[in-house]
Amino acid sequence: MSAFLELKNVNKAFGGVQAIKDMSFCIEQGELAGMIGPNGAGKTTVFNVISSVYNSDSGQVLFNGKNITHLRAYQIVRIGIARTFQNLRLFSRSSVLENVMTAAQSHEKYSFAESLTHFGRWNSKEKKNRIASMKLLERIGLADRAEQIAGTLPYGMQRRLEIARALALKPTLLMLDEPAAGMNEEEVFALNDLIKDIHKDHSLTILVIEHHMDLIMQICPHIICMNFGAKIAEGSPDIIQKNPEVLKAYLGDDEEVA
């Protein structure tokens, strides 16, 4: 196995605040990895740099052996990287199905005239996308909500819809930014199973940011821990739970993380 996603000495500052400090790590192809850290540790900024929401100040981001540091956000999607966001970014006034179909259409090619008239290739591709999008909704557990307006879904289901929409982009790397945010214990337990099944069924490499330690510890064999913009630990759940720097970051003392 070789590095699929690699960050080399990445830095990002906002004014006088160093959001990412000399960040380096590797994710192997096919891994299910987690990123943890207290609020403000810089985790989402790492995701934003990888997905080109922000440009890094220095360092490199490599994907599948290629330097993607200076690509634009739409180019990042095209090479196979999809993500969800900490704050929901759904088309809240569109239906659940339309949200997924919008993402699925990014892979289709037809002329401007066909897109206006809905003739020619547009019609056949639209039918194909509808079928594929419904299959994704079935997989994610939202098929019975396909015609519901996305903004009226319960919060946990909106989180699932974001995952379905990201999968519609056909990524090889899926980045999930706090997918369990706002969920109750039962929903988090179900999300555990969903992420593991997606990882297996779609042969994806997945990187998850999460504050729910139980979720990360149960599903991620490889964990990266950040604090104050820097990586303070990396390894298996057992190693992370016993690392003094991690304990200090989360608890402020030497107690073991539960």
Judge residue 207's burial from the number of C-beta atoms within 10 Å of its C-beta, 0-12 exposed, 13-18 middle, 19 or more buried: buried
Give the up-direction half-sphere exposure of residue 79: CA atoms within 13 A in the CB hemisphere.
19
pTM tops 0.85, yes or no: yes
How far is the C-alpha of 227 from the C-alpha of 21, rounded, in Å? 10
Out of 99-103, 147-151, 187-191, 247-251, give the one with best mean pLDDT: 147-151
Residue 141: partners with Cβ closer than 8 Å, 6 or more residues away? 160, 194
Contacts of 201 (CB under 8 A, 6+ apart): 139
The token pair at 46 is 């790492």
In one-letter notation, the amino acid at residue 214 is: D
How far is Cα 130 from Cα 101, in angstroms, rounded to an integer? 6
In angstroms, the Cα distances linking 46 to 24, 35, 53, 167, 183 are: 10, 10, 10, 21, 23
Alpha-carbon distance of 258 to 256, in angstroms, equals 6
What pLDDT is attached to residue 255?
46
Average pLDDT, the chain: 89
Give percent of the chain with pLDDT exceeding 90. 69
pLDDT at 193 over 60: yes
Query: DSSP 3-state assignment of 180?
Result: coil
Candidate from 19-28, 119-128, 240-249 with smallest mean pLDDT: 119-128
**Short-list 150, 149, 131, 15, CA closest to 88:** 150
Local confidence band at 257 (pLDDT 50, 70, 90 cut-offs)? very low
Query: What tens digit of pLDDT does each residue of 69-118 get?
Result: 999 999 999 999 999 998 888 999 999 999 999 988 776 565 555 655 55
State how far the Cα of 119 lies from the Cα of 159, in Å rounded to an integer: 34
User: What is the identity of the amino acid at 110?
Assistant: Y
pLDDT per residue as tens digits for the range 36-83: 999 889 999 999 999 999 999 999 999 999 999 999 999 999 999 999
Q: What is the DSSP letter of 233?
A: E
Question: How do residues 130-172 score in pLDDT, each as one tens digit?
Answer: 999 999 999 999 999 999 999 999 988 999 999 999 999 999 9
